[in-house]
Amino acid sequence: MILNNIGIIGMGVMGSNIAFNFSNHNERISVYTRSSEKLKQIVQKDQNNFIISFNSLKDFVFSLKKPRHILLMIPSGSSIDLLIESLLKFLDIGDVIIDGGNSFFKDTRKRNNYLIKKGIYFIGAGISGGEKGALLGPSIMYGGDKKACAILEILFQKISAKYHGQSCSEYIGSDGSGHYVKMVHNGIEYSDMQLISEVYYLLKNLLQFDNQKISNLFKKWNQGELCSYLIEITGNILSKKNKNGNYIIDLIEDIANNKGTGMWTSQNALELCVPLSLITESVFARYLSTLKTQRILASTLFTGPEKKIKFTSKELSIFLNHLQKALYLSKILSYAQGFTQLKFASEKYNWNLQYFKIAKIFRAGCIIRADLLNKIVDAYVENNQIISFLFSPYFQNIVNQYHSSLRYIVSIGVKFGISIPVFSAAISYYDSYRSKISSANLIQAQRDYFGSHTYSRIDKEGSFHTEWI
Ligand code: 6PG
């Protein structure tokens, strides 16, 4: 019997597409799921006959070469722990379990610690790119014990996306670091999506642009510095009509769901004391969207300015130019906050993250792939320890040139009563970040006034308290 290098458990869309991806790269692969019907369909669809299916967990495990590599593509949470327990009965020392889902990095750390005591390696792999990416080449960020990753590296390189021939698969660091980087990727994904939605909302409500016109604008912007997967798909989404000739976007309810990865990113930023205002605002924007009943009621009771502006064609082109720049700068600030969070996490968890490597694997396959990442790669190649990539010459130049556009767009939003929370967070962060002197001296005085919390002074070393009353 020929033994396979890797097996996958979980034949949902992501799991099965990864199996087909391996098969398309001439890699024989074992797959396991409980449904015989599902297994039959997958084997039938596999034109290369490289997928070997099992509905016995034991037979599946024994079909793998040692050390066994078992990729779990099942929902995150307790189902992972249950499956690990079932697998342990059949595994040998040195075998490797890889969690390819969006698991919380602290769970990955725990599982890692638990399994290492049993001689089993546990690798947390963030796999980005949605169902198409899984089939044609995702971006893969994996972490755990490096010793366990030699075979995995070759396997992941085979199936990952390629950016000008370079594989978008990278070993990130120990324990939960792979899942951590995927979590921050998702946080950035949230703010990218929200910023684009705010542009759409402004154009639709303030300028009364129709869907086709907005779609054309995104398609045009996708030819320039904003070029990215999310801008590209937004251009396509906005022009898509159904059989009756109606735009699909107009039929979709304005309530955004989430699976929690954006929330984890923000929660962790709070724990690490790192400002993550753009991503966090985008999480809140999704939550606010779900308060539909309250929004409907409030819309009938609370007033605001008329959401309309009349531009000459010259003014319109100036406005659109500002909007494009405001979007690019806000996107930069959101990535900068995300990468700064990675830096804080690297220090806290001792991961020694290589930011240029992370930016490199985000350039293809994943949801936040964007031309901008090349500039981020350059900044970190130049200096991996840079405080923030904003300090590199390219970004210094952009922020200095573009902040007035962002300021203008936010002022328009405020003036005309159009909610653009992430744009607003962006300019606010920018202005706070560049403030040599902040208002925090007053906060310290207030804390000392009501709670004797003490303060430090600018003219003397030490800790001081004033009897304020
Ligand atoms: C990816 C995506 C993927 C998933 C999101 C959706 O990188 O391929 O991020 O992981 O689509 O997790 O997340 P929400 O349901 O929270 O929007």
**Residue 2 binned pLDDT confidence (cut-offs 50, 70, 90):** confident
**Tell me, what's the pLDDT at 375?**
98
Report percent pLDDT > 90 for the chain.
99
Look at the chain and count its residues: 469
Residue to mutate (ligand 1; options 17, 102, 105; most atoms within 8 A of CB)? 102
Write out pLDDT tens, residues 397-445: 999 999 999 999 999 999 999 999 999 999 999 999 999 999 999 999 9
Does 130 sit in the ligand 1 pocket, CB within 6 Å?
A: yes
Contact (Cβ atoms closer than 8 angstroms) between residue 14 and residue 131: yes
Q: Which residues contact 93 (CB under 8 A, 6 or more apart)?
A: 118, 119, 120
Backbone CA torsion sign across 343, 345, 351, 355: negative
Does the bond joining 138 to the residue before it have cis omega, within 30 degrees of 0? no
Q: Please, where are the H alpha helices in 25-101? A: 36-45, 57-62, 78-88
pLDDT of 216 over the 90 cut: yes
Edge-to-edge strands of the sheet including 139-143? Answer: 51-54, 29-32, 6-9, 69-72, 96-99, 121-128, 139-143, 169-173
**Tell me, what's the pLDDT at 380?**
98
**Tell me, what's the pLDDT at 244?**
97
Q: Please, where are the H alpha helices in 241-312? A: 261-272, 277-290, 292-301
Write out pLDDT tens, residues 322-363: 999 999 999 999 999 999 999 999 999 999 999 999 999 999
Please confirm, yes or no, whether 360 is among the known catalytic residues.
no
Please confirm, yes or no, whether 189 is among the known catalytic residues.
yes
**Residue 194 binned pLDDT confidence (cut-offs 50, 70, 90):** very high
Write out pLDDT tens, residues 57-68: 999 999 999 999
Indicate whether this model's pTM tops 0.85.
Answer: yes
**Residue 226 binned pLDDT confidence (cut-offs 50, 70, 90):** very high
Contact (Cβ atoms closer than 8 angstroms) between residue 280 and residue 269: yes
| Catalytic hit among 45, 132, 158, 189 | 189
Residue type at 92 in one-letter notation: D
**Residue 308 binned pLDDT confidence (cut-offs 50, 70, 90):** confident
Report percent pLDDT > 70 for the chain.
100
Dist CA 454 CA 457 (whole Å): 10
pLDDT of 173 over the 90 cut: yes
pLDDT, mean of residues 103-125: 98
Residue 273 CB neighbour total at 10 angstroms:
8
What are the C-alpha distances in Å from 8 to residues 34, 40, 421?
12, 15, 41
**Tell me, what's the pLDDT at 159?**
98
pLDDT, mean of residues 287-304: 98
pLDDT of 1 over the 80 cut: no
Residue to mutate (ligand 1; options 14, 168, 186, 230; most atoms within 8 A of CB)? 186
Does 128 sit in the ligand 1 pocket, CB within 6 Å?
A: yes
User: Using the 8-state DSSP alphabet, how is residue 64 labeled?
Assistant: B
| ∠ CA 402-219-133, rounded to 5° | 100
